[in-house]
Amino acid sequence: MLRLLAIPNDPVSAYLKKGEIKERYFNPGDLFDQVHLVTLAREDARPEEVQALAGRAELFIHPLGRVNPLSLPYFSRSIRGLAKEIGPDLIRAHNPWLAGTLAVRAGKSQGAPTLIYLHIDNDERRLFDPSLRFRLVRPLENYSLARADLVVCVSRFLAGYARRHGAGRVATIYNKVYLDQFARPRPQSLHSPLRILFVGRLDPQKAPEVIIRALAGPGGRLEAELTLIGDGGRRRELEDLAAKLGLKEQVRFIPSVPNQEIQRHYHRADVFAMATHYEGFCIPVLEAMASGLPVVACPTQPLPEILGSAGLIVEHSAPAFRRAFERLMHEPDLALSLGAAALKRARRLDGKIMEEKEVRLYREIISGRGTGPGAEQEGGEGPWVS
């Protein structure tokens, strides 16, 4: 019997609220018989509400309580005791701060290999948001990344960040987007007005105001409709901005869509747009590619890494995005060809391929064979990086 102990980045109830319950997210290939989620919350969702995250495994959820750097020693003892009861074959954490530190300490105490998943370059985050809390946790990054048996990055771009903080073994496996979910007949034309889609949190990082302002340039209002799917602290501000620019009828806000239904919104769109300040991966870009949509994105890494040549990379400004939208409107054949190229590239990054790589990686590290450096190709084909 194989057992996994995982420490998610957020309480499982947050995954449920955002509609982000993805099949086998914590149990690729149904490799494990038991999945134990230790969450940093006082209470959490019931296992039956989120069983899909563990696939066919028996799922247990252990709310540990709210942890902060000062209470870390106490919670470290608690999780070491829990790990002793569970006897995990692998421990997995989803950030290098509190979760990563707790995972490493538990792994060392039980002799279980520890993986830390990286989804963001926190050095870039600190440049954009120099608040004290992001600076205080830097020692935890250095501690956990240097001591993890393997650091799994969701893009090659993140490998440099991992190594700067002491990671010894690094692998790249892209976030999983399954093409079967997004398959549709190839579009033959664009809609009029143009349908533009943005999916992401409505916060300063994602900069959705750039996309909104692109519809109201000096040349007048663009003949386009914009749908923003996501919620966040800036929603009211962005609604007011759309109204102020005379775009209230052209901009639609949808706070949340369950993951199982999100493909419907990609299928009705003509173009996907993303103007983010920093990223570790950006799943919506790959979802748009899997739907055969042309993507207009800023040069923030790893967006160019994900897109390759299958999209339009423009500077991070409303005028640049507007010019790109106008170009696609005036050159519909270009839009359709970019969508076809995006789909072709997405096939190389299909979630099934990534899940198979993840299973192989898990088997190797559990058996003790995943301890040597090697070569990596795009998407983590290696799967090892020296």
111-124 mean pLDDT: 96
Burial class (CB in 10 A: 0-12, 13-18, 19+), 184: middle
Q: What is the pLDDT of residue 150?
A: 97
Number of other CB atoms surrounding residue 333 within 10 Å: 9
Do 218 and 277 lie in a common domain? Answer: yes
Tokens for 211, please give them.
């996309």
pLDDT in tens, 196-214: 999 999 999 999 999 999 9
Do 121 and 253 lie in a common domain? Answer: no
Average model confidence (pLDDT) across the chain: 93
For residues 185 and 370, the model is more confident at 185
- CATH number of the domain encompassing residue 311: 3.40.50.2000
Strand order in the sheet with 3-7: 58-63, 34-39, 3-7, 90-93, 114-118, 150-153, 170-172, 384-385
Omega of the bond prior to 383 within 30 degrees of 0, cis? yes
Do 108 and 197 lie in a common domain? Answer: no
Do 342 and 356 lie in a common domain? Answer: no
Cα separations (Å) of 148 from 105, 141, 142, 162, 362? 10, 11, 10, 11, 14
160-173 mean pLDDT: 96
Q: What is the pLDDT of residue 18?
A: 82
Q: What is the pLDDT of residue 217?
A: 78
pLDDT in tens, 51-102: 999 999 999 999 999 988 889 999 999 999 999 999 999 999 999 999 999 9
Do 131 and 9 lie in a common domain? Answer: yes
Q: HEC states along the chain? A: CCEEEEECCCCHHHHHHCCCCCCCCCCHHHCCCEEEEEECCCCCCCHHHCHHHHCCCEEEEEECCCCCHHHHHHHHHHHHHHHHHHCCCEEEECCCCHHHHHHHHHHHHHCCCEEEEECCCHHHHHHHCCCHHHHHCHHHHHHHHHHCCEEEECCCHHHHHHHHCCCCCEEECCCCCCHHHHCCCCCCCCCCCEEEEEECCCCCCCCHHHHHHHCEECCEECCEEEEEECCCCCHHHHHHHHHHCCCCCCEEEECCCCHHHCHHHHHCCCEEEECCCCCCCCHHHHHHHHCCCCEEECCCCCHHHHHCCCCEECCCCHHHHHHHHHHHHHCHHHHHHHHHHHHHHHHHCCHHHHHHHHHHHHHHHHHCCCCCCCCCCHHHCCCEEC
123-140 mean pLDDT: 90
- Torsion sign over Cα 79, 281, 209, 298: positive
pLDDT in tens, 37-51: 999 999 999 999 999
Do 123 and 188 lie in a common domain? Answer: no
Do 222 and 144 lie in a common domain? Answer: no
Band of pLDDT at residue 132, cut at 50, 70 and 90: confident
Do 284 and 320 lie in a common domain? Answer: yes
Do 206 and 174 lie in a common domain? Answer: no
Do 15 and 50 lie in a common domain? Answer: yes
pLDDT in tens, 346-368: 999 999 999 999 999 999 999 98
Domain count, the chain: 2
Domain carrying residue 151:
3-178+351-385
Q: What is the pLDDT of residue 224?
A: 98
> Rounded CA gap, 289 and 36, in Å?
33
Q: What is the pLDDT of residue 54?
A: 98
> Rounded CA gap, 271 and 190, in Å?
9
Q: How many CA atoms lie within 13 A of 251 on its CB side?
A: 26
For residues 220 and 165, the model is more confident at 165
Report the C-alpha dihedral over residues 162, 163, 167, 173, rounded to 10 degrees: 50
Do 325 and 360 lie in a common domain? Answer: no
Tokens 């003892």 correspond to: 77
Do 100 and 222 lie in a common domain? Answer: no
Per cent of the chain over pLDDT 90 is 88
pTM beyond cutoff 0.75: yes
Give which of 309, 308, 311 is closest to 294, Cα–Cα.
Answer: 311
Number of other CB atoms surrounding residue 344 within 10 Å: 13
Per cent of the chain over pLDDT 70 is 95
93-112 mean pLDDT: 96
> Rounded CA gap, 353 and 345, in Å?
13
**Residue 309: is its pLDDT beyond 50?**
yes
